[in-house]
Amino acid sequence: MKRKKNIKAMERTKVVVGLSGGVDSSVAALLLKEQGYEVIGVTMKTWDTRENEDESPQGLAHGDGIIEDARRVAEYLSIPFYVMDFREEFRRHVVDYFAEEYLQGRTPNPCVVCNRYVKWEALLNRSREFGADLVATGHYARIEKLDNGRCAVRTSVTAAKDQTYALYNLTQDQLSRTLMPVGSYPKEEIRRIAWESGIPVAKKPDSQEICFIPDQDYAGFIRRYTGKTSVPGCFVDKEGRILGQHKGIIHYTVGQRKGLNLAMGHPVFVTGIRPESNQVVIGNNEDVFTNSLLCSKLNWMAIDGLHGGELRLSAKIRYAHKGAMCTIREAGKDQVECIFDEPVRAVTPGQAVVFYLEDWIAGGGIIL
């Protein structure tokens, strides 16, 4: 794909690029510089492992290694570079929320709240210090203005790397001030651009884990962070019959099979969590499927709401879900009911459901 360079209309337009020290954000900065933007690189310091001696010192958002990688990229591209401290915003909006959701028996998606309240809201506010009204990221997604005047996130050109799911909660104002240049390229092309351009982190692998829990021990992190002990309770079937003892509800999520340590003679799965009675409900594989869900905390994007009507579209119930056709309708104040054409597996309270009209995000909410 041919890259556009030196677009005069963009000259002197300042844009703050969130540099994570990885390939995607580095190429985003390169592409915008080639298009004539005045690019400023910023790395967001969100979590310091040195404040948490029990945590791994490797790569938490954002350790010295990540900052130095971002600094090297900025120096190579000859753009200004700053490190901004967002630890308080991150702790308040992301980590506190993450821990509390698990303690309440729900499975949170920290990337969704981080995107809206830290990577966008907080960064946009700070960007004004540089006289910049725009921010840019290395997300594999596109932002387009629709015929109805609304801005919407559109899926990436490469489905294998599409990152739109975690962006459904962005506001119209945030979208109107955001650039996502890598969403128009497949991942292999971004790697090629990085390599051919000599970007220092061209061979750096992608990050997969939750940034503040690199060892993926969510229960251990919550215990250390909150000081609250995970109280054992009962595994029960859907009729309430006791099947055994669990380690504490923070260890489980809907659809889980591994780590249950129940000798039932056949595979069993978590089908529900009851925090009020400290019970984890167990069932068979078919019990994990449902054809409906309720969601709240709605954010509309390509449309401004349902206005009493119904809408046919596709919905994703988790990041890796391919999506399923459904009908959505209002179910009360700030609530939507979603009826799937075919049953879907492991609808999980606390996760996001994101609605798509063809390639564009229509909106989404949090599963109840």
Longest dimension (CA), the chain: 71
Estimate the crossing angle of helix 218-226 against helix 96-103, to 10 degrees: 110
- Catalytic residue list contains 114: yes
Active-site residue identified among 114, 151, 234, 295:
114
- In whole angstroms, give the CA distance from residue 367 to residue 356: 16
- Catalytic residue list contains 111: no
- The answer to whether the beta carbons of residues 230 and 275 sit under 8 Å apart is no
- The answer to whether the beta carbons of residues 239 and 259 sit under 8 Å apart is no
Half-sphere exposure of 350 (CA within 13 A, CB side): 21
Q: How far is CA 123 from CA 32, 82, 118, 128, 131, in A?
A: 18, 12, 6, 9, 13
Q: DSSP state, 22?
A: S
Active-site residue identified among 111, 151, 211, 295:
211
- The answer to whether the beta carbons of residues 341 and 269 sit under 8 Å apart is no
What would the DSSP string read from start to end of 73-87? HHHHHT--EEEEE-H
- In whole angstroms, give the CA distance from residue 147 to residue 320: 30
Active site residues: 114, 211
